[in-house]
Structure 1
């Protein structure tokens, strides 16, 4: 009878350890999912920064074209005068 109780307690401890290992595995999976989400957010932030840099380059090209048009107008005025 005593052996049976010991055996039952041992089995229960083993089951509890297995449940704890499973909880730890689940926590690790959740940490991995969170790391993956963070990597995705960082990729999106970088894409946003790259889009902003491209918009700034385009604005600079447009300003340069406008300066060139202004110089061209000045040359035309000088050549007429």
Structure 2
């Protein structure tokens, strides 16, 4: 009978270990998911910033072009 109890204890310990391992695994998975989400968000934000920079650059270029055109008009 003591042998049976021993086996039972071992299987309970193993089950507890597996459960704990599963919980840790889930937790790690959740954290990785969160990190990936953060990275994607960061990437989108960066893209928007780049688009904005290009747009502003283009606008400044157009503005300078208009100013030069007006300068030439005034010169003649």
- The alignment's TM-score, normalised by the length of structure 2, stands at 0.87
**Match in the other structure for 1:77:** 72
Q: Residue 10 of structure 1: which of 5, 22, 25 is its match? A: 5
Residue 46 of structure 1 aligns with which residue? 41
The structure 2 residue matched to 1:23, chosen from 8, 18, 21, is 18
RMSD across aligned C-alpha pairs, in angstroms? Answer: 1.3
**Could you list the runs of 4 or more consecutive aligned residues of structure 1 that deviate by over 6 angstroms after TM superposition?**
none
Unaligned runs of 5+ in 2: none
Equivalent position of 1:59 in the other structure: 54
TM, length-normalised to structure 1: 0.82
Bigger CA radius of gyration: 1
Q: Which ranges of structure 1 fall in alignment gaps of 5 or more residues?
A: 1-5
Q: CA deviation at 1:42?
A: 1.2
User: Deviations along 1:35-78, whole A, 9 cap, x unmatched?
Assistant: 11111111111111111111111101101101101110221122
Tell me, in whole angstroms, the C-alpha distance in 1 between the residues paired with 2:23 and 2:73.
Answer: 75
